Structure 1
Amino acid sequence: MEAAVEQLSDYERERGKPMPTLNHSIAQGNLNFALQLHYRTRYSILPEINLAMPEKPDTVPDLAIYPKLTADFLHDITSMTQMPLTVIEIVSPSQSNDDILAKFERYFKAGVQSCWLVLPSFKAISVYSAIGKYQFFTDETTLTDPLTGIELSLSEVFA
């Protein structure tokens, strides 16, 4: 008997990542809103921006945090060559820890300074400053990213 071959959607093929779920979308929207609400004058929070990685393939984090950028609406950028300060990845049910950590390793190697791993099913976020070095925040706590100074109540994210 032949093993079933999993079919990837166009979204998964084009972006190289799993199709977002309802909880993923809610967490991403809430995170984006909370970060914009509290930090939009200091940082540019960009959802789903393509990062031109030094080692291919490129990647598209769920959110990327940059020092404040100025938009030039006459001349667009399709792929960021400047790495963000922070990337935020929201785990999907089909992703393994190894997949995420391999992605974080690439981010750190490219110059990203912190990576957030959002775990919707646990209502938790881990803030990595290096592979193996992280702080774990749960629903009833306030996340603090020492690199950016961002502080965020997780009750805003998992509302």
Structure 2
Amino acid sequence: MDLLLENWAEREMTAYEIERGKPMPSFNHSYIQNNLIIEINISFRKKFTTMPELTLEMPEKPNCVPDISIFPKMIANFLHDKITFAEMPITVIEIVSPTQSIDEILLKFERYFFAGVQSCWLVQPSLKAINVYSQIGKYRYFNDEMILIDPTTGIELNLSEIFQ
């Protein structure tokens, strides 16, 4: 695990990444992030809470900010807000940004699984595809002509709606 953190810390980061602790998003990134949140909430809002850009307290620093985190249904406490969140989500979704490599995201997935996350989605906008990981090296591939099925959560999404 120490080597993983060293590799993460050693890579060259942009000023935006340093300030926010995550890669710079793009139009396609934001578009897909919005579509995913909408589609998940349409069918699964009563079962899950989807949170964009929530800072997760990782067992080892640095903390992570997934594009989308999926939790069992939660209720907000508006009197007691949190800047970081210690409870790990069931699923995290990472969308590849133009300044980011898939290898970087897979390193984050290792950290997420180590922290207790049960599934990770790797969204590749240029391929109109999503890989759903149940562990590192074990994933199912879905493209925009398929129905994504995450066996961990039971979430099913028509990817043509995500990549429309």
User: What is the TM-score with the length of structure 2 in the denominator?
Assistant: 0.90
Partner-residue secondary structure (3-state), 2:94: strand
Q: Which structure has the bigger radius of gyration? A: 1
Runs of at least 5 residues in structure 1 that lack an aligned partner in the other structure: 1-5
Distance of 1:26 and 1:64 partners within structure 2: 17
Does residue 60 of structure 2 align to residue 55 of structure 1? yes
Does residue 18 of structure 2 align to residue 13 of structure 1? yes
Aligned to 1:3: none
Structure number with higher helix proportion: 2
Question: For the Cα contact (< 8 Å) 1:15–1:59, is it kept in 2?
Answer: no
Identity of aligned residues (%): 61
Does residue 93 of structure 2 align to residue 88 of structure 1? yes
Aligned to 1:29: 34
Does residue 75 of structure 2 align to residue 41 of structure 1? no
Runs of at least 5 residues in structure 2 that lack an aligned partner in the other structure: 1-11
Distance of 1:87 and 1:74 partners within structure 2: 26
Partner-residue secondary structure (3-state), 1:49: coil
Distance of 1:53 and 1:152 partners within structure 2: 28
Distance of 2:107 and 2:13 partners within structure 1: 23
Does residue 112 of structure 2 align to residue 107 of structure 1? yes
Matched length? 153
CA RMSD of aligned residues (A): 1.2
Partner-residue secondary structure (3-state), 1:25: helix
Distance of 1:7 and 1:55 partners within structure 2: 19
Partner-residue secondary structure (3-state), 1:76: coil
Quickly say closer, same or farther: Cα 1:60–1:82, change in 2 above 3 A.
same
User: What is the TM-score with the length of structure 1 in the denominator?
Assistant: 0.93
Aligned letter for 2:111? R
